[in-house]
């Protein structure tokens, strides 16, 4: 594959990701390492990796590329993505994580951040990294020093400085690591808690022998739900492959939408810090900004995507940020997302409230939601523009795709960054109203597609 075509395939909006070795191989990883070192201009860079079968060799190549520029490397070994963010924040240096997150076997990728865990994505430096990788800078006369650095103990201490572990006494939590790298950190965290861990698939295994590490897909929660049916814990949690996302299941075996978790966590933070700002993306439920206002906080609406959330959090000083997709961000965690920290926050919310999660959640879920629906079209942008004309009676904005709002319902239609798909999210007072609005939007998109938009 020619270099330009290869880079077109692997450089995404928020990270670098592709099939191994057809799109991403050791040579490409080494070039990216050299480019990132040149881009950062730092003395040292922290590098971690997940448990995918290709991650050790890709991480070694990435490290070689960084070192070739005379830049030192802190090799963090096999860890979670949020542990790289912790290293970038606590050690004040850029970080790189070799991971494909929740993608299937055969994929891998690289997530980058600057010192302090500041994001590197489209519009914040990823284009420059690509440009430098296409024409690699010459090596330095003396390679940078590579040293092994252990961050797990400090990471655990850091997480426990944000919550009050003593309040979690007696809680029982079922945690499904999906054979990803959550198993590197979750048992170590529970060793410090007066709570019980009921673990499932916590052994990192890049073959993912039990199920795909993408808990956004309902079928990947079945084993966790079966464990919870047997053990009856207070809370269930499933992590994606690199553990930066967490998905939760209540004591009645019902998954919690990301909006519900965002609202619960926002209320908890605002009780600790009244008047603070909380960031949420524009496809979170209206219950999220309503909860924030009710708790005396300032809701801040932003585009979907971690680089936008982190940037807005820095601008506003927000204490917390949440997305519908299971990413949750914390000011006291260098504005970085962490699935394990979110588990701890939700555990403390449960402990302080005293009610079962299945009961407590009801006050945060006054509306019905569709979840994200993919509509396949040949020309997404043209289709979305045409749909806007068919819903002219609603209030419209284009902060991220097309959002159309009425007093009691809304929908958002966003083009995918990587495929010819429009992503539809709908919220309305009840399930029937959601189905009706989904049908109307779907019909409008299909009408445009049939007309050759």
Interatomic CA distance for residues 194 and 171, integer angstroms: 8
User: What is the strand order of the sheet 196-200 is part of?
Assistant: 196-200, 172-176, 235-239, 246-249
Query: Which is the catalytic residue, given 54, 67, 68, 101?
Result: 101
| Residues in Cβ contact with 412 at an 8 Å cutoff, skipping those fewer than 6 apart | 282, 283, 400, 401, 402, 403, 404, 424, 425
Contact 342, 261 (CB under 8 A): yes
- Cis, peptide link before residue 21, omega less than 30° from 0: yes
Contacts of 260 (CB under 8 A, 6+ apart): 285, 287, 361, 364, 365
Which residue from 223, 218, 214 is spatially nearest to 242, judged by alpha carbons?
Answer: 214
Query: What is the rounded CA–CA span in Å between residue 136 and residue 340?
Result: 37
Closest CA to 313 of 285, 333, 288: 333
Q: Tokens for 244?
A: 């930066």
Token pair for residue 335?
A: 């504005």
Tell me how far apart the alpha carbons of residues 76 and 27 are, in angstroms, rounded to a whole number: 21
Distance (Å, whole) CA 259 – CA 248: 12
Is 101 among the residues known to form the active site?
yes
Active site residue ranges:
101
């Amino acid at each position: 594959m020619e270099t330009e075509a290869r880079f077109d395939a692997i450089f995404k909006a928020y990270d670098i990701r592709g099939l191994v070795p057809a799109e991403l191989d050791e040579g490409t990883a080494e070039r990216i390492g050299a480019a990132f070192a040149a881009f950062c201009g730092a003395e040292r860079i922290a590098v971690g990796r997940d448990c995918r079968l290709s991650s050790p060799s890709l991480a070694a190549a990435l490290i070689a590329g960084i070192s070739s520029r005379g830049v030192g490397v802190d090799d963090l070994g096999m860890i979670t993505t949020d542990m790289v963010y912790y290293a970038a924040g606590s050690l004040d240096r850029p970080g790189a994580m070799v991971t494909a997150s929740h993608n299937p076997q055969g994929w891998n990728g690289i997530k980058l951040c600057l010192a302090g865990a500041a994001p590197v994505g489209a519009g914040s430096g990823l284009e420059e990294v690509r440009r430098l990788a296409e024409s690699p800078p010459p090596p330095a006369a003396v390679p940078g020093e590579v040293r092994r650095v252990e961050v797990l103990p400090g990471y655990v201490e850091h997480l426990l400085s944000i919550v009050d572990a003593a309040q979690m006494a007696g809680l029982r939590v079922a945690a499904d690591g999906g054979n990803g790298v959550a198993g590197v950190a979750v048992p170590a965290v529970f060793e410090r808690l007066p709570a019980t861990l009921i673990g499932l698939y916590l052994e990192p295994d890049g073959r993912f022998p039990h199920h795909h590490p993408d808990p956004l897909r309902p079928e990947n929660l079945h084993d966790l739900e079966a464990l919870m049916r047997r053990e009856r814990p207070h809370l269930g949690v499933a992590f994606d492959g690199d553990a930066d996302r967490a998905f939760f299941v209540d004591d009645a075996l019902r998954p919690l939408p990301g909006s519900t978790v965002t609202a619960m966590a926002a209320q908890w933070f605002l009780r600790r810090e009244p008047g603070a700002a909380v960031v949420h993306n524009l496809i979170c439920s209206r219950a999220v900004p309503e909860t924030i206002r009710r708790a005396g906080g300032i809701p801040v609406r932003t585009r979907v995507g971690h680089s936008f959330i982190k940037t807005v959090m820095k601008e506003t000083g927000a204490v917390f940020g949440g997305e519908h997709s299971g990413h949750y961000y914390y000011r006291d965690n260098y504005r970085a997302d962490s699935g394990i920290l979110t588990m701890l926050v939700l555990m403390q919310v449960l402990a302080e409230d005293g009610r079962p999660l299945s009961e407590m959640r009801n006050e945060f879920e006054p509306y019905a939601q569709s979840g994200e629906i993919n509509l396949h079209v040949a020309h997404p942008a043209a289709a979305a523009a045409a749909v806007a004309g068919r819903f002219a009676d609603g209030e419209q904005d284009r902060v991220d795709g097309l959002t159309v709002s009425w007093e009691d319902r809304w929908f958002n239609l966003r083009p995918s960054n990587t495929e010819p798909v429009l992503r539809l999210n709908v919220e309305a007072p009840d399930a029937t109203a959601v189905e009706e609005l989904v049908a109307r939007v779907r019909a409008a998109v299909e009408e445009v597609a049939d007309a050759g938009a």
